[in-house]
Structure 1
Amino acid sequence: MQSSTALRLIDRSPSITGSEIAGGLVPPPQFAHASFESYRPDADYPSQAGAIEHLKEFEGVWRAQRPGGFFSRNRKPKAALPGIYLDGGFGVGKTHLLASLWHAAPGPKYFGTFIEYTALVGALGYAETVALLRGTQLICIDEFELDDPGDTMLMTRLLGELMATGTRVAATSNTPPNSLGEGRFAASDFLREIQALSSNFMTVRIDGLDYRRRNVEGRATTVEDAALAHMVGTMAERGSAVSSDSFDELMAHLATVHPSKYIKMIRGIDVISLTGAHVLHNQTDALRLVAFIDRVYDAEIPIIASGTPLSEVFDDDMMGGGYRKKYQRAMSRLIALTTGELPPHD
């Protein structure tokens, strides 16, 4: 019988190279076949269907460049601007739409999170990153971060150089600190932070409810320690790769691993089990957990946990602060991951 503690995330401290990061700059597995046609807009929020039309116009510029392209016989599409920014709350399908655009675009093209692109620069150096990405048709940036001014301006400079040579850019929002309103504030702050590029971006607002809450209500599922141990043992006996860690040990370990490496830390894991989950009071720890859960969600790895429901580990100060929308997104994802209700698109 395989020991239930045979796999521990805290034993994994992966390294990652620039070439590995670059090779992984594609949509997450659940969006491997995303398309505008498979996106399901909410009829109560017309801006969702409207976003599809804006993105098709953006993609139409490439079609216009092909012989006999549809747009070649029409007016120059509004999406002639080299950048498009999808602004909206979590769970309205921004990532699905971004991946759909990526699939529709000609290559070479890249798709990654803000963290992955900054990690690429860290691994390769700025000049080599520019050289690698120069000539790219499309760069998709999911969850553009405004938390770190240095990283924000680094990405501003990088995108400016690439757009000047013909690369087009599509990005989704990630609410910055102290922006307590819905995504409208994210849009204005994004454009202010990238002053030199703002005139190159068309902002598309997407309203709506978190689709995960359409299917999953309530709180993250929690189990007693004895039941969790039995579940882990049973799954391990059946050949599943189940990790077993305490919540505190995992939180301490995440502080030693760069977020760009979290995806390698969970590679090959079928189920994550955590014991002793509790409310967090340190915002740095909480933001690391958010980044970790984003990667777990992308990898579609279920979680079983004991202690406080994982959707309730962010304290009241965090939920009332400038990062609250990040925590709300993580809560929504944790409900889905612990209940087995993993919807088809983000």
Structure 2
Amino acid sequence: MHRVHGELKTLKDQSDPLEIIAERIARQAQIICFDEFFVQDITDAMLLGKLFEYLFERNVVLVATSNIVPDDLYKNGLQRERFIPAIERIKENCRVINVDSGVDYRLRTLSKAEIFHSPLDQQADKNLIEYFAQLAPENKQAYDETTIDILGRDIAVRAVSDDVVFFDFSAICKTARSQNDYMEISQLYHAVLISNVEQMGRGNDDIARRFIALVDEFYERKVKLILSAAVPIEQLYTEGQLSFEFKRCVSRLQEMQSQQYLAEEHKA
């Protein structure tokens, strides 16, 4: 969707830019694969129905894995009725196969490293400071309590050194940040530390959405994420509209502590 949004900007003067984008995609690929397909952004939801229609008209094949059946995609989302055509296109053109074995494969073979610290106390903060010092390259200058530029906007950091950065949760998730910001950070930094992660729930779903987006982008690029939080991982989200999405987020956070994940190369 990042590509689609980018092309929409360049085609804003066209009468039907989505059809042009679909035509371009169809020329490049006959099969499109999505791993863990889900929708949580209202703008994406509004675009996908028509985009899928144009792609299927061009005989593009969609192959996707998802933890959500088509009928439950974007459940409880704003103006969900406008996303229903996308669901119908998927059901008309794709065969839905249940491959659930009752096992969450992200939780297998986990060997937890000491990279999640709770509760929030002096020791937890001390641990993160020590981790930053260990991860920062010895031959690079470290800068404390400064800002970095992300897509033309400054964001406060507790410390930064080359490809390692240390944020406070209030700066990275409680200010107006988009998925593009997290995508950019995930490309620039191989290790990210975040202190003072709060418990989230019904009253602060905007913050929870940002945190989910952050974890998703970091996970995809194999960023090493080190956190200090008010509560254990399983309690980071209490209840609310994002309960399902946050279960997926928790699963990823748990996998990101495994030795297998930590051994993965950063995808800059």
What is the TM-score of this pair, normalised by structure 1? 0.54
* Matched position secondary structure for 2:37: coil
Matches within 5 A, 1:179-194: 186-189=69-72, 193-194=86-87
Specify the alignment match of 1:234 in structure 2.
Answer: 134
Matches within 5 A, 1:70-85: none
Matches within 5 A, 1:74-113: none
Distance apart, 1:296 and its partner CA: 0.4
* Matched position secondary structure for 1:145: coil
Specify the alignment match of 1:133 in structure 2.
Answer: 25
Specify the alignment match of 1:210 in structure 2.
Answer: 104
Q: Structure 1 CA distance, aligned partners of 2:236 and 2:261?
A: 22
Distance apart, 1:295 and its partner CA: 0.9
- The answer to whether the 8 A contact 1:130-1:158 is kept is yes
1:311 aligns with 2:233: yes
Which of 231, 235, 248 is the aligned partner of 2:170?
A: 248
Distance apart, 1:261 and its partner CA: 4.3
Are the structure 2 counterparts of residues 220 and 310 from structure 1 closer, same or farther at C-alpha, using a change threshold of 3 Å? farther
Count of paired positions: 216
Distance apart, 1:285 and its partner CA: 1.3
- Structure 2: which amino acid aligns with 1:277? V
- Write 1 or 2 for the structure with the bigger share of strand: 2
Are the structure 2 counterparts of residues 128 and 260 from structure 1 closer, same or farther at C-alpha, using a change threshold of 3 Å? farther
- The answer to whether the 8 A contact 1:146-1:174 is kept is no
- Structure 2: which amino acid aligns with 1:214? R
Distance apart, 1:317 and its partner CA: 1.4
Which of 44, 52, 57 is the aligned partner of 1:151?
A: 44
1:224 aligns with 2:124: yes
1:265 aligns with 2:192: no
Specify the alignment match of 1:46 in structure 2.
Answer: none
Specify the alignment match of 1:284 in structure 2.
Answer: 206
Are the structure 2 counterparts of residues 163 and 145 from structure 1 closer, same or farther at C-alpha, using a change threshold of 3 Å? same
- Structure 2: which amino acid aligns with 1:337? M
Percentage of identical aligned residues: 20
Distance apart, 1:267 and its partner CA: 1.4
Distance apart, 1:339 and its partner CA: 4.9
Alignment root-mean-square deviation, CA: 3.1
Distance apart, 1:129 and its partner CA: 1.5
Q: Structure 2 CA distance, aligned partners of 1:221 and 1:341?
A: 16
Specify the alignment match of 1:8 in structure 2.
Answer: none
Distance apart, 1:316 and its partner CA: 1.8
* Matched position secondary structure for 1:276: strand
Q: Structure 2 CA distance, aligned partners of 1:157 and 1:173?
A: 20
Distance apart, 1:140 and its partner CA: 2.0
Q: Structure 1 CA distance, aligned partners of 2:57 and 2:184?
A: 34
Are the structure 2 counterparts of residues 261 and 327 from structure 1 closer, same or farther at C-alpha, using a change threshold of 3 Å? same
Specify the alignment match of 2:251 in structure 1.
Answer: 332
* Matched position secondary structure for 2:227: strand
How big is each residue's C-alpha offset from its partner over 1:131-178, in whole Å with a ceiling of 9 and x where there is no partner?
Answer: 421323112234433445663352121121122122211223354xxx
